[in-house]
Amino acid sequence: MHYGRRPRTESGRPQANPTQKQRGPEAMNRRVVITGVETISALGRGLDPLWDACLAGRTGIGIIERFDPSEYKAHIAAEVDLDFDGGGRIDPKLMKRADPFVRYACWTADVALEKSGLVIDDSNRHRVGTLIGSGIGGMSTWEEQFTRLLQRGPDRVSPFMIPMMIIDMASGMVSMNAGAMGPNLAVVTACASGAHAIAASADLIKLGRADAMITGGAEAGVSKSALGGFCAAGALSTRNDDPEHACRPFDKSRDGFVMGDGATTYIVEELQHALDRGAPILAEIAGIGLSGDAHHFTEPCPDGSGALIAMKAALEDAGIGVEDIDYINAHGPGTPAGDYSEAITLAKLLGDEVGNIPVSSTKPIHGHMLGATGPTELALCIKAMEEGIIPHTTNLNDPEYPELDHVMGEPREAKVEIVASNSFGFGGHNITLIIRRYEG
C-alpha cells in the first residue's frame, strides 16, 4: 500500500480523492432532514403518549418518589423510572454499566433508528455519527459512588463510576449499540444542550463529515444534589401542594420551573441520502441561530438582546421573515426572569406581527428536562405540523404579556408549516431552531 503524497495535477495541486465527500462552501448547500424521532418522558415511553398528554393538559409532574424531598424547598418533579432497563432493546450487560440518562438515550435512539428505517452496516457505518447533549449527565451515579466513598472508602468505588457519569457516554454507548462509527461527540450548554446537539449534527452533515447523525438530548437530573442546587439558586417552583398547576409559563403568578427527566433522539440525514433510501421525512431543519448573552451565570439579558440575536440569525439562515412562522415553541420555563426576557424578545422580533403568531410552552406537561428539553419540544413541534394542532400553555390563565398571541385554555387547530423553537441555558447559551414541512 502506498502511503506517499497524493498524485498532483499539472498545476501542482493534489488530485481530488474520489472517495471523499464534498466539503467546503458547496457542501453547505446540503439540506438536512429529520427521518426518525423517539421520546421517553414522565408521561411514558414514546412521543405519542407525551403528545396526547399535551393536548389533554395532563401533566407528568408530581411529588418526587425516588427520595424523600421533605427537607427541600421544592418537592416536585417530572420523573422517569431510574431502573429503566432499555425496554428489552438494549444489551442488559450494557445497561448495567449505564447511568439512567444513557439508558434513556440508547432506547430512544434504537427506536428512532427503527422508525427511520436506517440500517447501519459495513457499507455506511463510517458515515453515520452520534451527538447527544446533556446538561448535567450522570448525577445519580455520582451521588451513589460518592456516598460509597464516604461510607466504605475509596477501594469500594466502582471502576465504572467515571464512564457511567460523564456526559459524552450517551453518545458513546449509542454508537456502540448502533454500530455507528462516524463523528462521535457530545455537547454541553446546560438547558440548551440537546438543541445545540441537533444544530451541530446538521452542520456536520452540511460540511460533508457525515451523511446521517443520531442526535438529541438525554437527562436524569432529578437527584438530591441537583434539586438542592436549583433550590439554593431560587430557580424552582415551590407549589408543592399543587404539582399539577405548579409550572406556569408567562403567567403573572409563576414562581419557577419544575425539573424533569427523559430523552429525545433523532435521526437526521442529508436530504438526498434520505431520498435515495426512501426514508420517511418528518421535517426539514431550515434555520439555526446561535448566540451568547455575555451577561450572567444564570439570568438572561433583561432586555433579551442575547436571545434576539439567535432568533434573527435563525430567520436569516432559513431565508424567511417573521410573518412566515406559523408557531413559536417558547423556552418558557416558568421563571420570573426567564419568561420576562423571552416575552419582550419575542415582542421585539415579531414587531407588527406580535399578536398574529401563536406562542406556547409545553413545560407544564413534561417539566424542564434540562439538556433533553429542546429536542423534546422540537418533537412536539413536528407533531403540531403533522396533526394541525398547536399545544396550549397549560396553567396560563393571566398572562403578564398579553400582547403575545398565547395559546391558552385549550389546543388550537391551525395549519402549521414552519415552526421556531427556542432553547436557552445557564451561562447565556441561546439557540433557535426552525423546522418546516418538507415538500420536495
The single residue of 191, 247, 301, 381 carrying the catalytic annotation is 191
Helices assigned H by DSSP within 244-357 = 271-276, 305-318, 336-350
Q: Would you call 392 a catalytic residue per the annotation?
A: no
**Residue 393 backbone dihedrals phi, psi, to 5 degrees:** -85, 100
The single residue of 273, 331, 366, 392 carrying the catalytic annotation is 331
Q: What b/e readout covers 214-235, taking b as 16+ CB neighbours within 10 angstroms?
A: bbbbbbbbbbbebbeebbeeeb
Q: Would you call 75 a catalytic residue per the annotation?
A: no
Q: Would you call 381 a catalytic residue per the annotation?
A: no
Q: Residue 129, Cβ neighbours under 10 Å: how many?
A: 25
Give the Cα separation of 230 and 346 in Å (integer): 26
The single residue of 368, 392, 406, 429 carrying the catalytic annotation is 368
Give the Cα separation of 363 and 78 in Å (integer): 10
* Residue 89 near residue 144 (C-beta atoms within 8 A): no
Residues 6 or more apart from 218 whose CB is under 8 A from it? 101, 102, 104, 105, 108, 132, 133, 134, 170, 194, 262, 263, 265, 371, 372
> What is the maximum alpha-carbon separation in the chain?
78
Q: Which sequence positions are flagged as catalytic?
A: 191, 331, 368
